[in-house]
Amino acid sequence: MQQVERLLCPNELEKQNAHLRQTQIELEAQLDRYLDLYEMAPIGYLTLSQDGVIEQANLTADAMLKSSRSDLLNRPFSAWIIGPDRDRWQHYLQQVLQQDERNLLQGDAADNIELELMRSDGTPLIVRIDALCLKTTVADSVVRIALTDISARKQAEATAADLRASALDFESREPMIVSDPAGKVLRINAAFTRRTGYTPQDLVGQHVSLLQSPHHDESYYQRLYGALTEHGHWQGSFWGRYKDDNSYAEWLMLTAVYAPDGSIDHFVASFSEIKDNREVDADIHRMAYFDPLTMLPNRRLLYDRLGQVLASCSRSGEYGALLFLDLDNFKSLNDSHGHDVGDLLLSIVARRLEVCIRRENTVARLGGDEFVVVLESLSPDGNHAAQQAGQVADKILATLRQPCDLEGPEYACSASLGIVLFNSDQRPIKQLLKQADSRTRAAR
């Protein structure tokens, strides 16, 4: 009787119920913590059937494979494996199924495997898989696998291998130079030093413009850089500059190297000799003596022709004239509409200047928006020669004032022009150009 009363004691029943409730709360809390750890673990977890079909997956696995839980479940894991790795996976799965928990305790678990997967959004993923086979019944088993994303490590290993190969290639090939996207020199190789005389101490940290030759003007480099950034590469014959300021012609190959985010990380330039190529030789001749944008004679050819005209004037007693022309507001046009529009205007001006002069005379582009016209075989009388030169100048200015179609609104072009006459006084060419330039500035 006392035992029955003891069993039915309300206080003790309440204590037991309270203890059970507390135990249940703690168990539920532990389960919640386990679920949180399982779902939000930094590693993807999947449970597979013996056939490799996904039965369970945590949220991390969903995120890694870019798939929803409903897309993952009841599908074979091999569906995410890129073709060549599928056979390796099937062989590995059979190895895992042959192990049991005793093998695991004895340290005889299957090795891990690295596989390349394709996420549901089409992006690749490289993972390391660690697997464990667990018996659920005497005749059945499941395979638990852990997926670790090793894409970054594999990328780093590949990059390191590429860098090692590039380093060997960099030092063993033709002259090469590496610059950052802003044009600052990062490296040059020994072949470049032997070819040009520049040492790393001379160039590293300097801008590549230090190597520019006077054979190319600013618009040439702008077009080259535009093609390089748009297409990722450029090649062609090119004039460079030795350390002693002499120029050299070589075949230049430029390549943009991209960072993982798609931005340009650096540029690599390599040089090779030009051998027995008539087309390249002709290209080099054009670059040496003609402006690449307008195909007018450049400064070098202008000096040569002007020297011939001066010698002819000395023999004949006739006058010649040098007209120095500078376009008005050209910088503003470039800044507001871009270099492509500016280049188009320069080409139009070049063609208009050519139609204003006789065939034996010369139109040249010095660079930028500066042009020079050389008139020869003028009158031996200075006043008459000045009148002749003035008539050509008026014709040029009137022709340039005609509206230009710059693939948009019509543009009214104008220019400032200075004239210098010469005959047998044999003034230096640089002095003639300087005097004509100063008169152009005064005419503004």
Q: Which pLDDT score, from 0 to 100, does residue 360 have?
A: 86
Q: Are 143 and 131 in contact (CB under 8 A)?
A: yes
Mind listing the pLDDT tens digit for each residue in 65-78? 888 888 889 999 99
Q: Which pLDDT score, from 0 to 100, does residue 31 have?
A: 53
Q: Are 189 and 165 in contact (CB under 8 A)?
A: no
Helices (H), 98-217: 101-105, 151-172, 190-196, 200-203
Structure letter (DSSP) for residue 50: T
Distance CA 238, CA 63 (A): 51
Q: Which pLDDT score, from 0 to 100, does residue 105 have?
A: 45
Helix (H, G, I), strand (E, B) or coil at 176: strand
- The band of 2, judged by pLDDT with boundaries at 50, 70 and 90, is very low
Which of 75-79, 98-102, 103-107, 308-312 bottoms out in mean pLDDT, i.e. has the lowest? 103-107
Mind listing the pLDDT tens digit for each residue in 4-57? 445 556 677 676 676 677 667 666 656 556 555 667 677 888 999 999 999 988
Phi then psi for 215, rounded to 5 degrees? -70, -20
316's enclosing H/E stretch is: helix 299-316
Q: Which pLDDT score, from 0 to 100, does residue 172 have?
A: 58
Q: Which pLDDT score, from 0 to 100, does residue 61 have?
A: 87
- The band of 196, judged by pLDDT with boundaries at 50, 70 and 90, is confident
Question: Between β-strands 54-57 and 113-118, what pairing exists: parallel, antiparallel or unpaired?
Answer: unpaired
Average pLDDT over residues 155-174: 62
Instruction: Tell whether the model's pLDDT for residue 419 goes beyond 90.
Output: yes
Domains delineated in the chain: 40-149 (3.30.450.20), 155-289 (3.30.450.20), 299-442 (3.30.70.270)
Average pLDDT over residues 171-199: 85
